[in-house]
Every structure is written in C-alpha cells, then in structure tokens.
C-alpha cells in the first residue's frame, strides 16, 4: 500500500443513494418529496389488525434481487439489503473508480438503530414452533446492527475503516458526522456513510405501540397521519429505508473531476442525560448540539437558509425542537424555512438522519425546499415557518439537519452548497 495522501481537512459529498417510502433512487424520491407525496399507507409487511397503530411508511419499490445474489437476497435481513442497495446507488452516482489502491483507503460507516429485527422475529418464531435446532446459524450475523457496514464492505471490497453507529433515531446523522471526522483526520480518503432500518414487523410495531409513541387517531387516513408541528399531531408514523452518502476528501474529489453536491462543514453532538425516551424539557441537548455544529462550521445561524427538522409529529419533540431552534437562531428562527420531511417518509428511525441529509443536499443543489405536508392547524407553541404543504424556491448556501434519538442523543449536521 502506498503512503496515504495528506488530507485536505475538507470533506465533500460526491454520491447519493437512497431507499425511501416515496421511492428508491434520487430520481424517483426527490420529485415525490418536492410534490408532497406521502409514503404512508396501511401496513402490508405484517397483519396490522391487532395493533393500535395500523399504518406505516413502507418501501414499496425495492427488490433485493436487483442488488444482491438471489440466494443472499432471499436470506439476509431487509435492513442489510437496503444498505447494499443505497450504497451501490451512491457509488455509481459518485462516478468513483474503485482501484485496488483506493479500496484500501475507502471505508464504510452505515449504522442502524435496531438492526435485523425482522430476521430475529422470524427465527424466534421458528424456535417456538420447532425448538432450538430450527434456528438459523445466520441469526447472529444477520441480526447485528453492524452488518449494514460489514456486508456493504464485503460486497464492494472496501477495506478502509469499517464501523457502525447505533444511536437510535440519530444514527444516520451520527454516521455521517463520524465518517466526516475519519476523512478529515486522514484515516480514509473516502467513506460510505449513512443509516439503514427495517423495523416494520410484528415485534417492531407492537413495541412502538406499547411505548405509545405512534399515532393512533388516523388509521383511516394514513396519508394525513404524519403531521409535524401541527396542533393535531398525536405521534409518529413508523417508517423504513436507507440513506447512504459518498463522503470524500475534497482534494481527491477535485483531482478526479467529481461533481460535488456539497461540503460537510459542521457536526455537533450531545447527550441530554435526562430520560430514556423524552427530550430534555428545555431542549438543552439539542441546543448544545446545534451550537457545536455552528462553532465547528465557523458560520453564524443567520447564514443558514434551510433547516431539515427532526420533526417527528410527536407533541414533545416538535414543541421542544421549535424552542431549541429559537434559542440558537434568535430572530433568524422566524425567517429561516424549516420543514419536516417525515410528514412524507414517516420516521425511518436510524435511517432518518441520512435520508434527511440527502434532502438537504438536493435542496441546495436545486434551490427548492421540501414542504411539511399535513400542516393545517397551527400550534401556538410551534410558530415558525414550517414551509406548509407546498415546496418553495429558495437560494440556499448552507443547510442544517437536526436528528435526535432515544437515550438523549442529539446531532446537528451543517452542509455548504457544492460548486
């Protein structure tokens, strides 16, 4: 192996890949997001009848056979297949040539909040019905969350840093931020980074229903169920999917003439140290994560032209995220467009932050801000500009994305528009 090139200290995004409830691939999901298309419908991946929440944002147009050997596609957990599909799209989009030398400098950091929940549920059923000898020897490797990264690295032959982040709903954003630091310090030239999740099965739906975290009032109106910042919100809609970005040292990207979607300029993370599921009542952790991101980016909040909010459609999250944005952004909080794309994708848990980072980069590229659909009844406690119902044209040089997770994990990413 040759000596590793001197890092530029700057990290850019050169490839995007996504599997979402509103489409697989940028060319499919991005027009749907801008058009306000909802991916929420009655659950089909399991029988929803027993559950208090019977709707979800499922991925409808993904076929694992398109991305994997047919035998493997049939066997592995859905979250691994999503990760491989999204990473393959991102690599193709980047136009990068994977030479033997580069593969040694190319890493993978794709996280999952839960991992192979579907495979675990299926194997548990086999044990109950037929005894321990019926359990597959593949249960452990196809269940553990790090296999999104591990399997992806094997498929593409990437031998650089290989890691996994598990920080609940902040996972995808944490993975991007950590991969950014790996490249910035010179431990890799490029990274596949993001998150993948497939939690829509019997135990996944039952668990979140038991936690009383999901909406139950709109089983007969799935497309109107996810309504972030709206006064009538009553819980999130569970989703699934994957988002993967190619992050690359800027000098390396420029030398090969790569198109650049944007630059990662700020990454902030913090812990609430408060409660296992509820956010801090004063938004303390969210505030500190955002302030850290701005400090690292070397810009002020007034320079941000778009915020992709965590915006889960739960009472406390939306209220406290609004308060945290006001605290950090000051008067600019009332001027900056904010949207929650979870109104369309539902909440893909560990994949959410990565999918939403992709939306930020595309918003800057195209000068178009996604809407928050289902915003019909203003909430006095959520009184900012949430880009209600219709996308908006805007010149955005910097975009910020917030992600918060159970356990008190808080992440803020800041991107600068590419050139």
DSSP labels for 14-62?
EEEEEEETTEESHHHHHHHHHTT---EEE--SS--TTSS--EEE---S-
CA–CA separation, 7 and 329 (whole Å): 32
Whether residue 169 lies in the annotated active site: yes
Whether residue 347 lies in the annotated active site: yes
Cβ-contact 162, 148 below 8 angstroms: no
Question: Of 347, 360, 382, 412, which one is the catalytic site residue?
Answer: 347
Q: Which long-range contacts (CB under 8 A, 24 or more apart) does 279-282 make?
A: 279/316, 279/317, 279/320, 279/321, 279/404, 279/408, 280/320, 280/408, 281/320, 282/320, 282/323
Q: CA 23, 19, 277, 36: dihedral to nearest 10 degrees?
A: -20
CA–CA separation, 131 and 135 (whole Å): 8
The two three-digit tokens of residue 351, written as one number? 């994949």
Whether residue 310 lies in the annotated active site: yes
Distances (CA, A) of 138 to 27, 69, 108, 258: 35, 16, 22, 39
Question: Of 280, 310, 382, 409, which one is the catalytic site residue?
Answer: 310
User: Would the CA dihedral through 263, 259, 8, 108 be positive or negative?
Assistant: positive
Strand segments (E) across 58-95: none
Q: Hey, which residues are catalytic here?
A: 169, 310, 347
């Amino acid at each position: 192996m040759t000596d590793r090139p001197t890092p530029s200290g700057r990290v850019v995004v050169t490839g995007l890949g996504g599997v979402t409830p509103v489409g697989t691939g940028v060319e499919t999901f991005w027009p749907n997001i801008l058009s306000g298309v909802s991916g929420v419908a009655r659950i089909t991946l399991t029988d929803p009848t027993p559950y208090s929440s019977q709707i979800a944002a499922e991925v409808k147009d993904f076929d694992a056979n398109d991305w994997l050997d047919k035998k493997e596609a049939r066997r592995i957990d859905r979250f691994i297949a999503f990760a491989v599909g999204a990473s393959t799209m991102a690599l193709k989009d980047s136009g990068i040539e994977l030479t033997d030398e580069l593969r040694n400098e190319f890493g993978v950091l794709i996280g999952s909040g839960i991992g192979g929940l579907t495979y675990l549920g299926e194997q548990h059923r086999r044990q109950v019905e037929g005894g321990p000898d019926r359990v597959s020897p593949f249960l452990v490797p196809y269940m553990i969350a790090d296999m999104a990264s591990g399997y992806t690295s094997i498929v593409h032959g990437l031998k650089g840093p290989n890691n996994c982040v598990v920080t609940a709903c902040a996972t995808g954003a944490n993975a991007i931020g950590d991969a950014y630091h790996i490249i910035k310090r010179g431990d890799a030239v490029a990274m596949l980074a993001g998150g993948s999740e497939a939690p829509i099965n019997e135990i996944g739906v039952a668990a979140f229903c038991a936690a009383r975290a999901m909406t139950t009032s709109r089983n007969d109106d799935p497309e109107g169920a996810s309504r972030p910042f709206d006064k009538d919100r009553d819980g999130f809609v569970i989703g699934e999917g994957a988002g993967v970005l190619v992050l690359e040292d800027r000098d390396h990207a420029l030398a090969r003439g790569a198109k650049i979607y944007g630059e990662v300029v700020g990454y902030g993370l913090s812990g609430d140290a408060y409660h296992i599921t509820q956010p801090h009542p004063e938004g303390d952790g969210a505030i500190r994560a955002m302030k850290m991101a701005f400090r690292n980016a070397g810009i002020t909040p007034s320079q941000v032209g778009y915020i992709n909010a965590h915006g889960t459609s739960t009472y406390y999250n939306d209220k406290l995220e609004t308060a945290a944005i006001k605290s950090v952004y000051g008067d600019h909080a009332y001027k900056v467009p904010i949207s929650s794309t979870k109104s369309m994708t539902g909440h893909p848990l560990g994949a959410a932050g990565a999918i939403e980072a992709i939306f930020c980069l595309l918003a800057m590229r195209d000068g178009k801000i996604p809407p928050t659909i289902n915003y019909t009844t203003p909430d006095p406690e959520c009184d900012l500009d949430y880009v209600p119902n219709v996308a908006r044209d805007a010149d955005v040089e910097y975009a910020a994305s917030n992600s918060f997770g159970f356990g008190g994990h808080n992440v803020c990413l800041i991107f600068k528009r590419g050139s």
